[in-house]
Structure 1
Amino acid sequence: MKPTRRQTLALALGSAGFALPAHATPNGARDCKAPDPRWRAGIEGQRKADLGDGRYLNPVLAGDRPDPNVLKDGDDYYATFSSFQYYPGIPIWHSRDLVNWTPVTAALTRNIGIVWALDIAKHDGRYFIYIPALDLVDSARPVKTWVIHAADMRGPWSDPIDLHLDGFIDPGHAVGEDGKRYLFFNGGNCVRLSDDGLSADGEPKHVYSGWPIPEDWIIEGFALEGPKLLRKDGWFYMFSGQGGTAGPPTSHMVVVARSRSIQGPWENCPQNPIVRTESAGEPWWSRGHATPVQGPGGDWWLVYHGYENGYRTLGRQMLLEPIEWTADGWPRALGADLSRPLAKPKGAAAGPHGLALSGFAPDAFKTKFAFFSPRADGPDRAQLKSGTLRLAGQGSGPADASPLLFVAGDRSYEVTVEIEIDSGAQGGLLLFYNERLFCGLGLSEGRLHAYRLGQEERWPPGGPASTRRMYLRVRNHENIATFFYSTDGQRWSKERSFEIAGYNHNMADGFLSLRPALYAAGPGSVLFRTLTYRAGVEMSGAG
């Protein structure tokens, strides 16, 4: 009997000293015959891609990093991501080797709506970020394109400028053979920009129709989007996403087309798609939305996103795959299903990686925290002082409180915080997807509240509380969340546990992720102290 691709890969990797990671089967069950992949432990035990031996294991940036877009700027690399309803928005991260990343700033502070996939560019020594956003107020112009610019990636960034390009998403900046600047959009559309990049110079036109997906492939939809342009060896290459960014595990993919002119015509790569999840048994689902980038040693790579098999709650995570250029001038991906460690990019020393999630650092709103902000509210509600956070109340409970969140990228983790409520206020600790889907514990005068599926539990309800000061803890062990409380931070009581694997985009829409969150509701404010994050915890034990 001919061995399957998985069996062949297992034999090959075993002889090379690698362990094949466990994958979930299509029905979500665990494969108990293979060990879990072992990442290197970074800050606070958080998983780290760099294995320290010249190899890395995806993801290179764990947690919710959707629609990654990478700019090579000399020896530096900058990445940014869709920020949707999280503000401050447009987080920017920095790397020297494409594997180790650290946060720089958040480029967008003004609430312009729901920010989708964007693009970073550098032109004539200045940096630009082109931003599509869904405006929740302006029904006449619901989808707009904005641009911000700066002299330095660390900012300060300009106020958003309305390009008056409506109805498009996923911009990709390029400079043509004519020296003019262009923006490509979803659906294969393109428009020329003014020389300063701050306005359109003409009307958008359709230039590319995508790659014909076979009728029998299981996808979410055609969804031609995310064009990223590269000029190399006399060709313009357009890397696009197709198939839909979520839905079935086999939905998303990376397709490539090329042209001698920025104006087209565009021919499709005969090997399309060059990246695709072929089976629900693979470790990464819905792989797509790729940016091609040259490594520090001159080799070539794709940076894109994917859902981790069994962990959609973590959102779309940033993946790195090597590519080569074939003799006929097309890119070919080399990472297979990304289940095994791969050789790191050559030519740069490893730098620091990650971000401490514990504590309330003074720069937390530039690097860690973001509000879930469907409305125009944000950091003016928060005061960071002496290692504490005071958060002014808003709304009547978690659903309309615009909680403060951060990205967790580990399969298992524990978050602990001390809270103290003002009279009339309610505050607490949540795992929050959106205003309709969250779970957690809250404290108000005389009462402990328990929330599940976006509403307060009644069977059984939360119990009485005789204090305004309490410690709360959530332990998320592979999508089983257990909540605890304590009056002294030493002796813990287990409140209840929830199964949370369904708290994800396929169930609730919005392209978001399940994030640890702090909230303050009602009149007054809530003081938060001693926030701690610990990765890789097990589920056993009281607290």
Structure 2
Amino acid sequence: MTVGRRGALKAALLGAAGIVLPGTANAATPAPSRPQPPHWRRGFDNQRVPDLGNGTFLNPVLAGDHPDPAILKDGADYYLTFSSFDAYPGLTIWHSRDLVNWQPRGAALTRNIGSVWAPSLEKHGARYFLYIPVKADPNDIFVSWADHIDGPWSDPVALGLHDHIDPCHAVAEDGSRWLFLSGGDRVRLAADGLSLAGPVEHVYDPWRYPEEWDVEGFSPEGPKIHHHGGWYYMLTAVGGTAGPPTGHMVIAARARSLHGPWEQHPGNPLVRTVNDSEAWWSRGHASLVEAPDGTWWSLYHGFEAGFWTLGRQCLLDPIEWTADGWLRMIGGDLSRPLRKPRGAGVVPHGMALSDRFDGPLAMGRKWAFFRPGPDEGKRVRVADGALHLAARGAAPSSGSPLLLTAGDTSYSFECDIEIDPGTTAGLILFYDDRLYCGLGFDAERFVTHQYGMERGRPANPHGRRMRLRVTNRRHIVSFHTSGDGGKTWRRFDRGMEVSGYHHNVRGGFLMLRPGLYAAGAGEARFRDFTFKALED
């Protein structure tokens, strides 16, 4: 090989690595703006796993819709829950020993009290508390308690706070207990934390962003209080939860006393998506937590770029304390691997979404009804290797479907379905009761679900039992049917594109979830539900 060819090859290799050599042709080629992240590690059902196994991790730490994280450090254990909105059982408690690998424990809320927004998970003395804001009629904030993190949790009791959301429990230096609320307000709690002990009072005027920034609205919400180094720190979200990718952000203030006065962080905002080329959009609603190795971290949520449909996912960002007693986030745009905190052990991350229905149904941990009625649980039973689901309503819009949270950008799921006469059943991708798609069937005809409506009704050649498959590959959806248990497949003649099935189109703060439904009369029997994440 000649010197010239060797030089050209060297320049090409260096250019591919993003290294520029002065005086070569490579110098005229700009380096990539962002190195490509390594391939994801894969776990249950080929789902992506944040822990890369080499001392680093990738965000999100909890993929799919896990918004408004409420974190509790309890000795060497960490517990986390999220807004569950209209999914019941709700407020699933997750457990970790290192802040990166998380395992679901169980759901704290079983009775439908309304749409559950950003909760507060606390421990005071030996007792655990959940403060639960609910959009209902009327709106309110409820409290539930337990003597063990796995429950049983008490029946929620309304506190009578009709005009606020996003409570955060905090204890003042004098031992008094408070709930900080949206809008810079707070209210005192009784000593047992189960009722109010005073009126709502305004204590903080949140920092305001420049007028020219593209945001959804001011919306000061999600206050989180942390006591560290002789200061009380308050983190607040402003800018709106969704809307423009650049809207949602994290601001901070501090005070020597929980009773104020509060001073604004000179570096506000601490976190904000600057433009839509970043990996994560609308980042906000942050909490602080100390890792087992003494490092400090922030958990907050954000939308994956281009995937509003996955909802707000849970992100982990390292922080550092500065010499003047402030803090700053140092994880950048979270597109790159970050060094993992050293934990006190590791739990297996996530869970399988596939289900052979050969044991108790994992309600709350895996499956959840959408906006269930008081007797919804009576519709399901597991027997003989099948999920028996009693039919309800005329379609997914009126029948409270059974749903999962899937956090990958591409996946497929399939199931063997057998129906009674008069039953219609199938598989769906469900945002809410007015926006969903999927494929169902009765004994004679298919039913195509699209845009939250029932549309085409072509003939069904398989009768009352078939296997259905739904594939969602980066928002391109296809359906396949099989009359011989999956040995041979036929592509259904209707495809869909679902990138618009999300909050900025429909509202509601939800995600597009895979699931199943049964409508009409009788029941449907679902067997061998198989989920598989697909690599893009």
Superposed CA offset, 1:381-440 (max 9, x none): 111234421111111111111100000001111101111111101110000001111111
**Which residue pairs with 1:352 in the alignment?**
348
Residue of structure 1 in register with 2:103 after alignment? 102
- Which residue does the alignment assign to 2:479? 483
**Equivalent residue number for residue 462 of structure 1:** 458
2-structure distance, mates of 1:89, 1:13: 47
- Residue 348 of structure 1 deviates from its aligned partner by 2.9
Identity, in percent, stands at 54
Contact conserved, 1:447 with 1:466, CA < 8 A, in 2?
no
Counterpart Cα distance in 2 of 1:203 and 1:375: 34
Matched residue, 2:28: none
Larger Rg: 2
Q: Distance in 1 between matches of 2:352 and 2:388?
A: 20
Q: Report the counterpart of residue 40 of structure 1 in structure 2.
A: 41
Q: Hey, what's the Cα distance between the residues in 1 that align with 2:86 and 2:18?
A: 44
8 Å CA contact 1:165, 1:200 repeated in 2: no
Which residue number corresponds to residue 26 of structure 2?
Answer: none
Q: Which of 473, 479, 493 lines up with 2:490 in the alignment?
A: 493
Aligned pairs (5 A) from 1:131-142? 131-135=132-136, 138=137, 142=138
Counterpart Cα distance in 2 of 1:81 and 1:33: 31
Aligned twin of 1:92: 93
1:379 to 371, 377, 380: 377
Matched with 1:244 is: 240
1:343-364 Cα shifts (integer Å, max 9, x gaps)? 0012433321011101135141
- Evaluate the alpha carbon distance shift between residue 516 and residue 32 of structure 1 in structure 2; reply closer, same or farther with a 3 A threshold: farther
**Hey, what does 2:301 align to over in structure 1?**
305
Q: 1:522 aligns with which of 513, 520, 524?
A: 520
Change (3 A) 1:53 1:11: farther
CA distance in 1, matches of 2:17, 2:196: 51
TM-score (normalised: structure 1):
0.91
For each residue in 1:130-177, what CA deviation from the matched residue of structure 2 results, as whole angstroms up to 9, or x when unmatched? 001011xx3xxx210101110111111110111112211000000001
1:277-316 deviation digits (Å, cap 9, x = unpaired): 1110000000000110011111100000000001111111
Question: Aligned pair in 2 of structure 1 residues 347, 436: CA closer, same or farther (>3 Å)?
Answer: closer
Distance change (3 Å), C-alpha of 1:13 and 1:186: farther
Residue 389 of structure 1: which of 373, 387, 390 is its match?
A: 387
Give the match's secondary structure for 2:418.
strand
Q: CA deviation at 1:38?
A: 2.0
Mean Cα displacement is larger for which, 69-78 or 348-357? 348-357
Counterparts of residues 57-456 of structure 1 (less than 5 Å): 57-135=58-136, 138=137, 142-359=138-355, 360=357, 361-373=359-371, 375-456=373-454
> Which one-letter code corresponds to 2:525 in the other structure?
L
Q: Determine the C-alpha separation between the residues in 2 that align with 1:462 and 1:283.
A: 41
- Alignment gaps of 5+ in structure 2: 1-13, 20-31
Counterparts in 2 of 1:12 and 1:78: CA distance versus 1, 3 Å? farther
RMSD over equivalenced CA pairs, Å: 1.9
CA shift at 1:37, angstroms? 5.1
Which amino acid in 2 is paired with 1:124?
Answer: G
CA distance in 1, matches of 2:232, 2:385: 50
* Residues in 1 aligned to 2:322 and 2:535: alpha-carbon distance in whole angstroms: 45
Paired residue type of 1:434 = D
**Deviation digits for residues 31-65 of structure 1, max 9, x if unmatched?**
99975652111111100000000000000111110
Greater Cα shift, 387-396 or 504-513: 387-396
Residue in 2 that maps onto 1:26 = none
Structure 1 portions without partners, runs of 5+: 1-9, 16-30, 539-543
User: How far, CA to CA, are the matches of 1:14 and 1:179 in structure 2?
Assistant: 56
8 Å Cα contact 2:415/2:526 also seen in 1: yes
CA, structure 1 residues 88+340, in 2 after alignment: closer, same or farther (shift >3 Å)? same
Match of 2:534 among 511, 531, 536: 536
| Aligned partner (choices 505, 508, 532) of residue 506 of structure 2 | 508
* Contact kept? 2:97, 2:343, Cα under 8 Å: no
User: 2:381, 2:387 within 8 Å by CA — same for their partners in 1?
Assistant: yes
The one-letter amino acid of 1:279's match is N
Structure 2 equivalent of residue 27 of structure 1:
none
* C-alpha separation in 1, matches of 2:242 and 2:502: 10
Deviations 1:360-379 (A, max 9, x none): 35141031000011644532
Taking structure 2 as the reference length, the TM-score comes to 0.92
Gap change, CA 1:34 and 1:438, over 3 Å in 2: farther
For the Cα contact (< 8 Å) 1:427–1:526, is it kept in 2? Answer: yes
In the superposition, relative to structure 1, how do residues 510 and 447 fare at CA in structure 2: closer, same or farther (>3 Å)? Answer: same
Answer whether contact 1:445 1:465 (CA < 8 A) is retained: no
